[in-house]
Structure 1
Amino acid sequence: MEPTRIRPSLHFTADYWINDPCAPGYDSATGLYHVFYQCNPHGTEWGSMSWGHITSEDLISWTPSMRPALVPDQPYDHDGVFTGCMAPPTSSEQGPLKVVYSSVQNLPFHWSTLPYPRNAAGLAIAKSNDGGKTWTKCSENPSLMGEPKGIQVTGFRDPFLAEWHALHQLRGQKSLYGLVSGGIAGHGPTAFLYSVPHNNISEWQYLCPLVDMPARFQPSPKWSGNFGVNWECVNFLTLESESNSRVCLILGAEGDVEREHIRNFESSPQIAPRTVRSLLWMFGDLRVENNSARLDYTHGGYLDCGSLYAANSYFESWSKRHIMHAWIPEEDITASYAKDKGWNGALAIPRELFLLSVPNVTRALHGPLSEVASVARVTNGDGSATIQTLGIRPVKEIDQLRKRCGHVYQRQNISLPSSTAEATQTLCSASFSTWELEATISIDPSRCHELGFHIRHNSDMSSCTTITFSLQEETISVSKGRSTSDPNIRNCPEQGPFTLFYRASHLAVGSEDKLENLRIRVISDADVLEVFANDWFALTTTVYSPEYSSPTGISVFANGGQESAVFEEVNVWDGLSTARR
């Protein structure tokens, strides 16, 4: 059956190839959010890297500029305008908006084809005097010709520039700090740290590599991800919650080891293999020696367990939020399929990153907390721990779409498997290609093996996508084997580590620890699927389904002992796209 190619409506797409979001930020003078994105304005395959531009008043509805904001038209960037960032304001007074970008003048380059050509990519600045409507490249460009002298790099691109108060305090020198992502040949991935004066962002003074990490560092085979050989799009953040704070990096890791569920998937030979990379985060201890800074790894994990990549973030001062944008690649289709449908790539729904603290934790589903490398532990007096990890959730503005959706379905207290041995129960049939599901589920872990949702299914489940939480494996997965039989599409599954935590009960002496509920949120938008759980798990993928043109089923299921999972509350908001018409 030929797919009905309906565009995502909540996720931005363009009539050509798009990839990394660039220079996200908020302009208080106009009340507009800005996001740029790398693109090829001439087709649905990578090439002619330019910057598109979109703006929004609410982080929901985005207005695209009619033409690219930046194109490769100068000697220092003639091979591409690559990823970059929005510069912080130079003073309390409103001045021109400024962006910093990777100016590429010598393609090709790649971490795997050393030696990396010297000065292949530098840094350049563009500014706007009309609130972002038009952009002019600065006459002083380039700010940097290329990588630091005396270092053989594996990559050098994707500048990030911001205030970093934690480093201010340690160095005793107030300035902006810049990172350029990459790695050192024969050593490992890193981000190159620069000091940048507030009043002149074209002066980047090199300090040192921020992270000293061996190639393909992987503290935990299950929980942490592999940190690869070369880094892209590294951002620093200081996350705070009450009196606690953590220094965090978010990053794209290139050259890691492909995850088993992808490596073992048998794919059609007419579809190119996926790029081996991961979207990760790490906490670290920041220290300064001889005026050089170093961030030592302590904990880390997946920023997204699916195909999401090239995250870029900024701190919104008035709301005190770290807001992240990222790219949803389309590597599971042929080039001809992308060309026929008319777009390639999308931007994820904006997410908030924060420090998540969970008190009174005693253990995970299986094994001690010490084995979960993606959480930090602070031991309490009663032997329990307060755990801290990177919190991830859609920005709260997205909730506004629920108020104006086409239809709301609500169910409560569905116990599965039922007394009649029924393991699956239908919730509803979605009439729109864009909907959201949110559920709270209590689980008896001694009897329940797995649970989840069948979505986008027809009456006999011959066409279906399945979201599964496996208690035994401690994973959340998206299985797409029955989503379509089109040979132009690879139905590769997605999977990531996830567990639930037992928490100490203080209601009575001797009371047993209680397992927390699973709280899951699914946003389905045409070809795009985003899954969130318990504010610290995210998985993004593409699902190409032929069932958009007719109502598609949404069902719940559980396998194990009778009534071992209770779907206490399930809500489906169908037709979120109608809120933008």
Structure 2
Amino acid sequence: MSLFEAPFSIDTTLARAQRSSIGSVIAARKISVVHDEVGVKRVNHVPNGIYERSLPSLHFLRWRPMYHMLAANAWMNGPCAPGYDPATGLYHVSFQWNPRRNVYGKIAWGSMVWGKASSKDLVSWTVSGTPSLQPGEWYDKEGCFSGCMYSAAADGSRGLTVFYTGASRLPLHFSLPDICQSETLNIAHSRDGGVTWVKDEANPILPETPAGLTVTGWRDPMVAPWPSLDMALGRPVGEGNLYGLLAGGIKGRGPTAFLYAIDKSNMTQWRFICDLVELGLNHNISRWSGNMGINWKCAIFATLVDSEGNVRRELVIVSAEGSAPAKQGISSIQHPQQHTHFPRAERSQQWMCGTINIVRRADGTPVPKLQYTMGGRFDHGIAHGFHSFRDPKSSRTVVFGQITEEDLPQKLVDRQNWSGLISLPREVKIQTMKRIKAALVSSLTEITSIEAQPETGNQGTYTVRTLSIIPAKNVEALRQSTREISIPGSRNLRNPSAYDDSCVLDVQTCRFELYSVFGVSNACERIGLSILHTQDRDLSSSTTISLLTAEETLYVSRPDLRNVDPDISTMPETAPFTLFESANGSRERLEIRAWFDESVLEVFVNERCAISTRVYPATKRCWGVRFWAEDKAGSSTLVDARAWDGLRADIRVMN
């Protein structure tokens, strides 16, 4: 089978182009802006829309997503400084970016600049082809690393402010000794709606780590009001008091977030309060919660309130370093190939919820501490480095993360001339389920990613709460101008070995949204769906999302790609997951939502489990989505299945 199925059509974020054969000219409707240094030259608009040279190669476009936001080219690191500017009505997301190849000609991590993107709706993006913030001063000469945005000038007047970590020395790693002023806190301002940024003359506003502490890291600022902390500290609520968190750890004690109070009338003034969290090294109470690591990056906070408005939990999301990734099982459907030569880093994206309590230090000083009540993996796959903001238009907490290229060997990364992208925007909230009496296998008290509160008057039942992670509602705008397809009615599911056309959704592109609901019987051993990447509908060449009920484990099993490149890693992603049973004996339905975009797959299960991964298919089309169950009684059902095929977003790269 050829690489590109005929007729071959590519809708790009830089241009809508069509090639009838490799080497032909490309008809394009927008300018393409990328850098000469990385092998894809800048081209200007031509009236007839025909460009005979200097356009992205087929390798560049082969696995490039079409509705995820990503940099113009080269190495893209994590998102930073998401936010909303009420003066212009624009959302902003910056990102760490190395726009040039390294001295060995590789697309790789390096001295970071900030790229930037803006949007009216969190779906269509205008991405700058030039850096917005670059190294240059002694305090950031080795890179401008992650940070946050606040929608006011540093003195509280109208404007935008970003806080960022500057690196004066490299390398930086939690295993290395802390060198004074290797990491500093800095600030930059924009008076033109984020078009240009000017570094503050007071930089670095924090030149070194808190006195008396030997840290393993101290970076990635987040700044926001925190009314719950105001209440805990006895400060007036509603006056816009600002707090800052810097992620890191204390040597020999474990990861933490360093808490500061900020003068809202002069945001260059930060006062250290305490280290907010004390969990110890590699806090890992069960498979349901995961490993909190040795050091943290990108610590973000929010206060979540349940739908009834009477339960409040403090949320902290972190990228944990020094925590081994979840154990990858072997799929019973597929036979994964070897890992790449660049295995995934020992990190995990974690969340924890709790309450803020005041405790006293040994010297009697009262300080706030976040008391852990439940926690888990924020993403069970390849996404990490999440940043958040409170969207004033929706009153929701929105987060973005980085989805990496770690499963692709370096030679293919270099050939495609780009690496990494930004996840779809996600919303977080509290999920509440009442009158729950059991899970599939585990007792409720064993599941440490939930709170199970005994209910009064209902003996043996519980109110269960956990963190809900779902795509932002804005993402539904991608459905416009797509082909909507569905499978009508409820259908009994057959074994994967018995092909059933009536349970196949006719998805044809590699850019779709999928919504599916299953009824899982007591006799069901395994249930799920397969994205078919080949015309022969071979399951070994499919991407399969399934639940093994006895294991209480979700699997995302990726296709065998030895015919594409044997060095592409296709080990399955796994996540602990269960279904709950109500007091009346009914079992919760299994809901799987998925977004596939050329080579990136984001999966959300029952609004409380997220798995992001990469799939590098041999062709640029799909041959359907098949639903099935391994059920001895044959009584598990497909309740609902819908898809929106051919998603695309208007993502423009401009000067």
- TM-score normalised by the shorter chain: which range applies? over 0.9
Residue 498 (str. 1) matches residue 569 (str. 2): no
Q: State which of 244, 251, 263 in structure 1 corresponds to 2:318.
A: 251
SS for the counterpart of 2:551 is: coil
Residue 525 (str. 1) matches residue 597 (str. 2): yes
Residue identity matched to 1:499: T
Q: State which of 59, 64, 67 in structure 2 corresponds to 1:7.
A: 64
Aligned to 1:470: 548
SS for the counterpart of 2:382 is: coil
Q: 1:3 to 1:162 in 2, by over 3 A?
A: farther
Deviations 1:259-293 (Å, cap 9, x if unpaired)? 22179998757621210110010012211233421
Quote the Cα distance in structure 2 between the aligned partners of 1:454 and 1:266.
16
Aligned to 1:415: 492
Quote the Cα distance in structure 2 between the aligned partners of 1:9 and 1:172.
49
Is the Cα–Cα contact under 8 Å of residues 410 and 572 in structure 1 kept in the other structure?
no
1:553 Cα offset (Å): 2.6
Quote the Cα distance in structure 2 between the aligned partners of 1:537 and 1:578.
25
Aligned to 1:182: 248
Quote the Cα distance in structure 2 between the aligned partners of 1:569 and 1:489.
34
Quote the Cα distance in structure 1 between the aligned partners of 2:569 and 2:437.
41
Q: 1:287 to 1:25 in 2, by over 3 A?
A: same
Is the Cα–Cα contact under 8 Å of residues 484 and 642 in structure 2 kept in the other structure?
no
Is the Cα–Cα contact under 8 Å of residues 8 and 528 in structure 1 kept in the other structure?
yes
Aligned to 2:626: 555
Quote the Cα distance in structure 1 between the aligned partners of 2:537 and 2:495.
20
Moved more, 407-416 or 419-428: 419-428
Deviations 1:349-380 (Å, cap 9, x if unpaired)? 00001111111111111132111100112221
1:25 Cα offset (Å): 0.4
Quote the Cα distance in structure 2 between the aligned partners of 1:464 and 1:27.
43
Quote the Cα distance in structure 2 between the aligned partners of 1:270 and 1:327.
20
Alignment of 1:63-462 (within 5 A): 63-89=126-152, 95-113=158-176, 115-173=177-235, 175-220=241-286, 222-241=287-306, 242-261=309-328, 268=338, 271-289=341-359, 290-381=365-456, 382-383=458-459, 384-417=461-494, 426-444=503-521, 446-458=522-534, 459-461=536-538, 462=540
SS for the counterpart of 1:260 is: coil
Q: 1:64 to 1:25 in 2, by over 3 A?
A: same
Is the Cα–Cα contact under 8 Å of residues 508 and 624 in structure 2 kept in the other structure?
no
Residue identity matched to 2:453: V
Residue 30 (str. 1) matches residue 106 (str. 2): no
Residue identity matched to 1:87: Y
1:38 Cα offset (Å): 0.5
Residue identity matched to 1:142: P
1:112 Cα offset (Å): 1.9
SS for the counterpart of 1:340 is: helix
Quote the Cα distance in structure 2 between the aligned partners of 1:138 and 1:224.
41
SS for the counterpart of 1:370 is: helix
SS for the counterpart of 1:151 is: coil
1:497 Cα offset (Å): 0.9
Q: 1:407 to 1:269 in 2, by over 3 A?
A: closer
Deviations 1:230-285 (Å, cap 9, x if unpaired)? 00100111101211110111011100133221799987576212101100100122
Quote the Cα distance in structure 2 between the aligned partners of 1:424 and 1:278.
39
Deviations 1:77-129 (Å, cap 9, x if unpaired)? 0011000001253699861100000011011121123x122221011001110
1:147 Cα offset (Å): 1.0
Residue identity matched to 2:211: K
Residue identity matched to 2:449: S
Deviations 1:306-355 (Å, cap 9, x if unpaired)? 11100000112342100000000111112221121121001000000111
Q: 1:274 to 1:164 in 2, by over 3 A?
A: same
Q: 1:89 to 1:357 in 2, by over 3 A?
A: farther
Q: 1:148 to 1:419 in 2, by over 3 A?
A: closer
1:423 Cα offset (Å): 7.3
Q: State which of 77, 98, 113 in structure 2 corresponds to 1:50.
A: 113
Quote the Cα distance in structure 2 between the aligned partners of 1:547 and 1:498.
32
Aligned to 2:567: 488
Is the Cα–Cα contact under 8 Å of residues 351 and 375 in structure 2 kept in the other structure?
yes
Is the Cα–Cα contact under 8 Å of residues 153 and 160 in structure 2 kept in the other structure?
no
Quote the Cα distance in structure 1 between the aligned partners of 2:469 and 2:223.
22
Quote the Cα distance in structure 2 between the aligned partners of 1:411 and 1:483.
33
Question: Given the two structures, how large is their TM-score scaled by the length of structure 1?
Answer: 0.93
Residue identity matched to 1:274: R
Residue identity matched to 1:31: G
Deviations 1:24-44 (Å, cap 9, x if unpaired)? 001111110000000101132
Residue identity matched to 1:524: F
Moved more, 403-412 or 49-58: 403-412
Aligned length: 570
Aligned to 2:46: none
Is the Cα–Cα contact under 8 Å of residues 558 and 571 in structure 2 kept in the other structure?
yes
Q: 1:2 to 1:231 in 2, by over 3 A?
A: farther
1:172 Cα offset (Å): 1.9
Query: Per residue, is there more strand in 1 or in 2?
Result: 1
SS for the counterpart of 1:144 is: coil
Percent identical among aligned pairs is 37
User: Which segments of 5 or more consecutive residues in structure 1 lack a partner in the other structure?
Assistant: 506-512
Residue identity matched to 2:353: F
Question: Given the two structures, how large is their TM-score scaled by the length of structure 2?
Answer: 0.83
